[in-house]
Structure 1
């Protein structure tokens, strides 16, 4: 579009986008001293012609187009004209406004959260630090990250956390609440906030375990196992649900697992300490039964070219969403009745009822015994757990095929 074809001012969005360059740079008046400048190379920008306090005319750049739209350029021009009318130097006023914008940006919840995260890095291992920042980036920053932290009310935090609660990720919700409360404590003790809007919020949220670890009864288990086997959506997710039933590990441990952690020859999965969320402790050894090895080999055909067992769809370097297994169970009709973590409860119940030693079961679940016994008992009972979990996998297989009926009460010797 040639400038001789301009029909009206202020310049329309179509005109701004289509004005063609000429051999030399030129300016076109938009409105009240605001000009649109076009260079021979096609670059476009906004300039304001204003009168300085010494009564001389000058130009002030307002930014490039299309980064600065017509509406924004006119708003900036109006502010600067107002400054000039009040006897202020428009350039000094522009710099002051920019400084205020930077200061406001540094007072957002996200900036405070990242400051808090940096301040705590020395106390975390790499895996923990990455997991915490990832939770904030996934669940908090999209909603309130760009807001000034002092403007976010307790009611808004309650709404955000209840959103996580309704997704069924209650353990994650509880952690996110604790992180955000700690972030506000940083602002409070450094004199940047008078109170903590997350104080007391936990009293009105679900505590997590009773609902988060929901699981079906043993009588319903065969139907659930068959439903998982026939899951019609993503194959990797279906295999993940099978592995949760067979291994009794935490969903996060499986979802974040790397292929390098698996030794197929030794039939062993080693969950490293840093992925278990503890600075101290030891790696968790998970024996692999025949059925889990079959599922893993099938999964390796799908995702084996990536480091992670369950790589994300948009970013293959990150694991699938922390709700991936929960949402799959919902699609199968088990919302509120079965969670990924609930498979651990099922395994514990069945193994205890069939007389397996409590120490072996607790070692499989990676539970630490309470008190002095927990300090001194370091045994992992790997050989015994190999046999126990193969029995358990065979038991589930019999249930699924209908070759075994679940008794209401099981007698153990």
Structure 2
């Protein structure tokens, strides 16, 4: 479109987009001292003509087009004309406004959260990092991310967490609340906040003790074992649940396991430091039944690095809810969790006379009395014998050949 074809001002969007360059740069008046500039190379921008305090006329750039639309340019021009009317230098006011916007952008809750993640994440296991960052991005950032953290009131946080309570995600709510409280603590100890708006909220919210991992009673265990064996849906999850029962590892340790960690010939699984909760390597002896389950699983996922590759992205493990969702489909929601298998193993083994130190070593619990300096292969041969007995015992329970008592509290 040529300049001579312009029919109205302010300039229409179609005019702005269609104006053709000429051999020399030119400006077209949009209205109220706002001009649209077109260079010979085709680049376009906005400029405002204004009178400086000394009475001389000058130009101030408002940004390039189409990054700055006509409506945005007119809004900027209006602000700068107001500054000039108040006796301010529009150019100085523009820079001050830009600095203020930049400061506001760095004072958002999301910016503070990113800073907290950068400081804390080097001490996290990869699974912990994914849980913490994922929970913040899923729940908090969409609600408070762009807000100035200093302006978010305690009552807003209270209503936010009560909303998570109403969804029934109590454990997730607790994790998010603890993270957000730490994020505000970072602002407080670095002199950017005086008070923490999350201080004291925990007393008025539901809590779910970390150790409260649901598990079936001894009487219900045989039926659970049979339900797992008969699970008709995802066969990899069926084998995963069986491996959780047979090894006593944490669900995240199994879900994120890689085939390179296993020596099937030796019947050993070496979990590396970075994937362990206590940040120390751990050797898991594998019973005959565990090896059989792994061989079946290898036929399904052996072509991938992970034992349990994700459905959409094979380079990432299954969802952290995968095992619990399978148990839910079996009808065990609120009665059995993936982590609850550790409680069953611990109690059963202790009730049948296996030494506490052997059981705690199998579960990779931090015990001051278990060998001063931790040995990743501590009591390995004793644990190999113990876990083979346990696997045989579970098989007999599933067949109905064992009369069970009650699971007692782990001593």
Q: Same fold (TM over 0.5)?
A: yes
1:14-413 → structure 2 map (5 Å cutoff): 15=14, 19=18, 21-22=20-21, 30=30, 32-37=32-37, 43-119=43-119, 125=123, 127-128=124-125, 133-141=129-137, 142-143=141-142, 144-161=144-161, 166=167, 168=169, 170=171, 174-209=174-209, 212-229=212-229, 236-278=236-278, 282-301=280-299, 303-304=301-302, 306-311=304-309, 319-369=317-367, 372=369, 375=372, 380-397=378-395, 399-400=397-398, 403-404=399-400, 407-409=403-405
Q: CA RMSD in A?
A: 4.0
Contact 1:212 1:339 survives alignment (8 Å): no
Contact 1:169 1:323 survives alignment (8 Å): no
Following TM superposition, by how much is the alpha carbon of 1:303 offset from its aligned partner in structure 2, in angstroms? 4.7
Following TM superposition, by how much is the alpha carbon of 1:311 offset from its aligned partner in structure 2, in angstroms? 4.8
Q: Structure 1's 190 and 226: CA in aligned 2 closer, same or farther, altered over 3 A?
A: same
Q: 3-state DSSP class of the match of 2:217? A: coil
Contact 2:270 2:281 survives alignment (8 Å): yes
Q: Structure 1's 137 and 410: CA in aligned 2 closer, same or farther, altered over 3 A?
A: closer
Equivalenced residues, count: 400
Q: Structure 1's 186 and 377: CA in aligned 2 closer, same or farther, altered over 3 A?
A: closer
Q: 3-state DSSP class of the match of 2:197? A: coil
Paired with 1:58 and 1:80, the residues of 2 have a C-alpha distance of 13
Contact 2:219 2:405 survives alignment (8 Å): no
Q: Structure 1's 63 and 167: CA in aligned 2 closer, same or farther, altered over 3 A?
A: farther
Paired with 2:15 and 2:292, the residues of 1 have a C-alpha distance of 62
Following TM superposition, by how much is the alpha carbon of 1:213 offset from its aligned partner in structure 2, in angstroms? 0.6
Following TM superposition, by how much is the alpha carbon of 1:180 offset from its aligned partner in structure 2, in angstroms? 3.2
Contact 1:51 1:57 survives alignment (8 Å): yes
Following TM superposition, by how much is the alpha carbon of 1:96 offset from its aligned partner in structure 2, in angstroms? 1.0
Paired with 1:99 and 1:31, the residues of 2 have a C-alpha distance of 28
Which has the higher Rg, Structure 1 or Structure 2?
2
| TM-score normalised to structure 2 length | 0.78
Contact 2:49 2:57 survives alignment (8 Å): yes
| TM-score normalised to structure 1 length | 0.77
Paired with 2:276 and 2:8, the residues of 1 have a C-alpha distance of 65
Q: Structure 1's 365 and 4: CA in aligned 2 closer, same or farther, altered over 3 A?
A: farther
